[in-house]
Amino acid sequence: MKFTTIVSLLASVTAAAKCKPRYPVDNTHCPDTGSPVGNVKTGFENWLEMMKSPDFDFKSNYGFITNPTAVNRDLVHEVDYLVAENKLKIVGVVGPEHGFRGAAQAGESLGAATYRDVITNLTVYDGYAFTNGSQWANAFNKMEADTLVFDIQDVGARFYTYIWTMYDAMVGAALAKKKFIVLDRPNPVGGLVVDGATLQLQNASFIGRREIAQQHGMTVGELATLFNEEFLPNEVQLNNTAVKKIDLQVIKMTGWERSMYFDQTGLPWIIPSPNMPTPSTATVYPGQSLFEGTNLSEGRGTTRPFETVGAPFMKDLALDTLVKTLNSYKLPGVIFRPFYFTPSFSKFSGVECGGLQLYVSDRRTYRPITAAIATLSTIRNQFPANFTILATNSIDRLSGNTKLRKFLNEGASYPTIVSSYQADVAAFTQLRSKYLMY
C-alpha cells in the first residue's frame, strides 16, 4: 500500500473518530455525516473588509450594543480590537442582559447605570435596566453617538432577550434619529424550521415584545428588517414622532446557509449567556424553556441546563413509567432517559431531583417545541397533585398566549395542543419570507 494512501486512510479514521457522537443516540455534537464544516464569515468580518473602502464612514461617532459573543477569528472582542487598532471613534457601549462582559447571571442587574470599562476606558451603559425606547434614546444622545452597531449572538428562540434588546434599541434609535447597523451572525439552530405559537400582544414582555413565532428560524439581521418594516411603523412609542422607521443597514454574513447548525459554520461557540453552554443547549432551548413557567427545574444549576428537567417528586417507578410513556410516543429525533440531579442554584437548589435527560438522536427531525409540550402534558397527567404552573403565569409570556396554560390545566393531549397553533406557524412563515436574506 502506498504511503499517501495510508496517510489518507489515517486521516479519514481520525476525522471519523472526532465526529463520533458523544452518546450512541446523540449527533448534536458534531456535523451531520456528509455535511462539511463551513467557513462562515460574520457580519463583523465583512464590515472590517468594508473599512478598506475610501467611502467608509469613519467620521461617525459609533455606539456599540454588544456582549462577549462579538469576537473575531482570534477570539478578541471586536470593541477591544477596534479600540486597540484605533479603527473607529467609539463613544460608548451598551450591554444587554448578563452585561457587556457577561458578568451577570440571568435576571441580575449590574448594579450601576453606567461604569467605566477598564480595558477600553469606554463608558458602558446597562441596557438591561432600560424598559423603553426613551431610555435607549437618552443613552445614545448622552454618549453622542451618530451610529449604533448591534452585534450579539442569538439562539433562535423568541424568549431569548437579546432580540428584544435589539428591538428596544431600534425604537430608541428612531426616537433619537440615529443610524442603526446590525452585524449579522448565524442562527445556531438553523434557519429552516419555524414552529410554535405566535405571540399575542396582551402577553408581550421583555421575553417577547412583538408577534413572532416561538422558534422564528431567522438571523438577527433578518429580524431587524422585519421589525423595521412590520412593527416599528405601528409601535406606540413612536406615535407622536414623524420617524416611523430607522435608517437600518444589515451587514450580511457570507458562507452561511439556512440548513447549517452552528457546529457546521467553522465559527467558535462563545457562550451567549451563562446557561447556554453549548450549541446542543440551543438545540433544545426553543421548547425546554417553557418549563421555566412551571414548578419543574429546567436544569439550571446543572451542567446540562435545558437538556434536563425534573423535580423531587419525579422518582423511582413513577419516573420509569414517565420515561416509557414519553418514548412510546416515538417523537422524531429525541429519546428520553431517567436522570437524577441536584441543582446548585435556581429551583430546588441543593435538593435531589428525579427527572429526564433529552438525547437528540436526529436534530433535523427533532422538534423541540413539540417534544416539550408532549413532556409537559404527560407530566401534568401523570403527576396531577404535584405539577403546577407558576402563579405568575409566566408560561403565558413564554408560549406567547394563554392557550398552553389552559390546555395543560384541562389535561389536553399533546397532539391537541400542537395542532392548535399550526395556523400561526403558517402565517408567520409567510410573513417572514419577505425578509429572508440567505
pLDDT of 112 > 80? The answer is no
pLDDT value at residue 113: 85
pLDDT tens profile 205-252: 999 999 999 999 999 999 999 999 999 999 999 999 999 999 999 999
pLDDT at 96 > cutoff 50: yes
Q: Mean pLDDT across the stretch 59-81?
A: 96
Note the pLDDT of residue 32: 47
Domain ranges of the chain: 43-272+431-435, 279-419
Distances (CA, A) of 100 to 110, 152, 176: 10, 10, 22
Please tell me what DSSP assigns to residue 157: B
Helix (H, G, I), strand (E, B) or coil at 39: coil
Average pLDDT over residues 71-96: 96
Per-residue pLDDT, averaged over 293-302, amounts to 98
DSSP annotation of 254 reads B
DSSP 325-368: HHHHT--TTEEEEEEEE--SSSTTTTS-EEEEEEEES-TTT--H
Alpha carbon separation from 97 to 16, 105, 110, 138, 319 (Å, rounded): 39, 8, 9, 19, 35
- Tell me the C-alpha distance between 1 and 4, whole Å: 9
Question: From CA 38, how far away is CA 124, in angstroms rounded?
Answer: 34
Q: What is the mean pLDDT of residues 74-91?
A: 96
**Domain 43-272+431-435, what fold?**
Rossmann fold (3.40.50)
Grid cell digits, residue 114: 453606567
Q: What is the pLDDT of residue 423?
A: 98
> Is residue 146's pLDDT more than 80?
yes
DSSP state of 147: E
Residue with cell 458602558: 124
In tens, the pLDDT along 28-55 reads 444 444 455 789 999 999 999 999 999 9
Of residues 135, 113, 133, the one with CA closest to residue 124: 113
Please tell me the pTM assigned to this model: 0.91
Domain spanning 279-419: which CATH class is it, in words? alpha beta
Helix (H, G, I), strand (E, B) or coil at 198: strand
Find residue 198's DSSP bridge partners.
213
pLDDT tens by residue, 309-350: 999 999 999 999 999 999 999 999 999 999 999 999 999 999
In this prediction, residue 1 carries a pLDDT of 43
Residue 110 pLDDT: 62
Q: Return the closest-CA partner of residue 417 out of 206, 127, 195, 165.
A: 195
Percentage of residues in the chain having pLDDT higher than 90: 88
Q: Which of 94-103, 339-348, 402-411, 417-426 is predicted least confidently?
A: 94-103
